[in-house]
Structure 1
């Protein structure tokens, strides 16, 4: 069984929506998937209530020790992929989940605030010497800001862009929020849409990396100072005046879940 954790310091990065999208993409690819929710906000549990008893099921687990005990039981029960959605910040449950992960995915929107906020999460991942990758999420359709953010993430992590920044980038579209409201994943809500294609492609990228994951640095390191090599790179990120703001895209009320 493989275990994936979605974690980042900053709220509103889209961890829960990505967890759902990846879970359904993996399930449609033949995996027996279980979702674990460690965030007491309960986004996944509420989604499960709207969805009913359709797979994949969501298990709320808030005690860090229970995560370690539950994962072997899921594997014995035939689960082939567990995806753990965590709360914002670095909590005991998030640290425990990262410790037992085969890969940690760090969602980040293409903004300097999101990029800076990945530092604490990256420090925990490297301390446990775990494979990881960034997911550039809720991006505009195109623009220099996306490429600048991707390059900054890979440079500051100390790895090649194509090793640690997942492909494709996930564009901000209403299908994600509409699917969440309906108790569906985007690949169920609009299976022929561009968002569904992106999520299936993203799962294929993640699955490939699970089988040949990029490890973190071998030595245990302290949580790095803010920001990780970002001050010199701020000038390379163009001001957002040339691109639409989030408000211009008219996101729905739950666009940042």
Structure 2
């Protein structure tokens, strides 16, 4: 079983969007996926409650951070992948959560504010000793996106496909779907490609 943590200390970076869409793409790929929402806002769980499918699966309640290890141990043999959404902050328990990960993904919007804020997340991952990769999120077709990629490439790996700025991501937040379950071919292709990249990193 592999554990994937989505983390970013900057709010609005697209953590929950990435978490739910990767969880769906992985489930469509035949993975037995458990989704955990450690963000007090519980946006991941609210989306899941609106789903018609029971994959990815969620527990009746998300574990308290100090109980995460026990939850992961109980999931061994039952699941292939655990996707964990975290809050846009650095609570005291975050380092221990990161240490439980096989891989962390950092969604980053191509904005100066997001690029300035990413250093704190990188430092937290370094302290936890966790491999990570960036995923460009909410990207417009602009020079700013290319410049952000160049900056981030100095600090670590970047997914070869960006999550573009598309209305479908907001729409599926309300419908309980992943974009790979909709008729939006471009969004589906980009998320499927990101999942293939992530799968290659964790396998």
Q: Which TM class, normalised by the smaller chain length?
A: over 0.9
Mark the runs of 5 or more structure 2 residues left unpaired by the alignment.
Answer: none
Q: Distance in 2 between matches of 1:63 and 1:36?
A: 10
Partner of 1:165: 158
Q: How many Å apart are 1:93 and its aligned residue?
A: 3.9
Q: Distance in 2 between matches of 1:179 and 1:128?
A: 33
Normalising to structure 2: TM-score of the pair?
Answer: 0.94
Partner residue of 1:179 out of 172, 179, 182: 172
Matched, 1:201 2:193: yes
Normalising to structure 1: TM-score of the pair?
Answer: 0.75
Q: How many Å apart are 1:53 and its aligned residue?
A: 5.7
Q: Distance in 1 between matches of 2:160 and 2:75?
A: 29
| Contact 1:138–1:171 (8 Å) recurs in 2 | yes
Greater Rg over alpha carbons, structure:
1
Partner of 1:43: 43
| Contact 1:7–1:85 (8 Å) recurs in 2 | yes
Q: How many Å apart are 1:62 and its aligned residue?
A: 5.2
Q: Distance in 2 between matches of 1:93 and 1:16?
A: 19
| Contact 1:67–1:97 (8 Å) recurs in 2 | yes
Q: Distance in 1 between matches of 2:166 and 2:110?
A: 15
Root mean square deviation of aligned Cα: 1.4
Please list every run of at least 4 consecutive aligned residues from structure 1 whose deviation after the TM superposition is greater than 6 angstroms: none
Mark the runs of 5 or more structure 1 residues left unpaired by the alignment.
Answer: 212-257
Matched, 1:150 2:143: no
Q: Which one has more relative contact order, counting CA pairs under 8 Å at least 6 apart?
A: 2
Q: How many Å apart are 1:63 and its aligned residue?
A: 2.2
Q: Distance in 1 between matches of 2:51 and 2:9?
A: 28
- Give SS of 2:159's match: coil
1:118-153 alpha-carbon deviations (Å, 9 max, x no partner) = 11111111112210001100001x221111001101
